[in-house]
Structure 1
């Protein structure tokens, strides 16, 4: 039977909602009832930040790893994720992911099997629930913006395996934060030259060539096919900045 967790509440069967908390927050402001509901949502949002800060405040050095939830075990990107998670732990980092399946699960698996802290920051979605079995420190969020704050606040860098819209969203948010100096230098390494190459070419040949970004902005991200090299770059850059 399908299950759905709404904060501490477990719902099954016909009680499973068809919309998420974030969707309900962002939808329907043309209706007058949002005037009564939204002020109370502020307290729930506040509680998510408090819980996240409390759970992660003593995490120590950590790297956030992103990638597709659709990558199957045995695929090259899944196995690369396992290796990235393992190598990060061996270098003294905790591993933070979105807690889902695919590449996120892979990085959590590598971190957990290496004896490290494997963090999963899950999100309440109608089609995606909970965190994978390799997470040993998990938090489930209702709101994307609270969750996304934790991805950056408690990490010293970002490794992206092949992924879709969610991975691209996090990638460009981190790039924007670094470019605008909202955060100090935040190393970003992409794994998969053939996967990311077209995007990087477009950034160079279109964005930079047309003056929409500076040529130096292209230096904010690097790409490799080797998980060991990705971790080595992360180690060199974070320790250099530290």
Structure 2
């Protein structure tokens, strides 16, 4: 049995009813501890923008360079950068934040196939979590905007979390920027041709985000939003 097979087997190991109940009870304290540690670590931050995208993006890819440039531009209008702490787009965003002299925050997740947070995160702002949902709360709670570059399932999860919270008025509206018209075009078409046509969303829901291609457009949209509205923390 390979190491990967063993991990899967351990996850599905049969537990008796009492063992399940005991483990669930103690899990509450672990979850609470991660939230407390996260809230305390993030409470010192100024206004920030969370940036998302694929961990698989290579350093020589144009989206890596674009993420770095956007992050740099965002720091120049007074915001720090929060990422998931990993490689790819996240690394590029943290790199841009450091180059711009802004706060560079990384909220990593403990995974067997990743080697920890990237090197461009401020040492005192590098955090790691076991639970995805704890990290997602922090990525939203301490962000005054989202910039979403091309990514996979994790990126989509984080994007739809923010859109849903804003759509349902669980949090106040903040700017959500999707970078890459060609990349996101098929998804936007599906929103319009399927979700909207079948009345699963409304026309105004399509205005909850902006799709752009350039760093200037991304940074400009965030700046224009906060030229009009007050910066505030979410929930």
TM-score by length of 2: 0.90
Q: Is residue 72 of structure 2 the alignment partner of residue 83 of structure 1?
A: no
Tell me how far apart the structure 2 counterparts of residues 117 and 229 of structure 1 sit (CA, whole Å).
22
Tell me how far apart the structure 2 counterparts of residues 97 and 108 of structure 1 sit (CA, whole Å).
7
Tell me how far apart the structure 1 counterparts of residues 108 and 118 of structure 2 sit (CA, whole Å).
9
Q: What's the CA shift string for 1:146-200, capped at 9, x where partnerless?
A: 1100000000110000000000000111110010010001211001010001101
Instruction: Give the one of 184, 189, 204 matched to 2:192.
Output: 204
Q: What is aligned with 2:233?
A: none
Q: What is aligned with 1:116?
A: 102
Tell me how far apart the structure 2 counterparts of residues 29 and 162 of structure 1 sit (CA, whole Å).
39
Instruction: Give the one of 119, 128, 140 matched to 2:128.
Output: 140
How many residue pairs are counted as aligned between the two chains? 222
Unaligned ranges ≥5, structure 1: 1-13
What is the root-mean-square deviation of aligned Cα atoms in Å? Answer: 1.8
**Alpha-carbon offset, residue 201 of structure 1:** 0.8
TM-score by length of 1: 0.87
**Alpha-carbon offset, residue 30 of structure 1:** 6.3
Q: What is aligned with 1:217?
A: 205
Q: Is residue 157 of structure 2 the alignment partner of residue 169 of structure 1?
A: yes
Instruction: From the superposition, tell whether residues 46 and 28 of structure 1 become closer, same or farther in structure 2 (CA, over 3 Å).
Output: farther
Deviates more, 1:149-158 or 1:229-238: 229-238
User: Where in structure 1 do 4 or more consecutive aligned residues deviate above 3 Å?
Assistant: 27-31
Tell me how far apart the structure 2 counterparts of residues 181 and 114 of structure 1 sit (CA, whole Å).
33
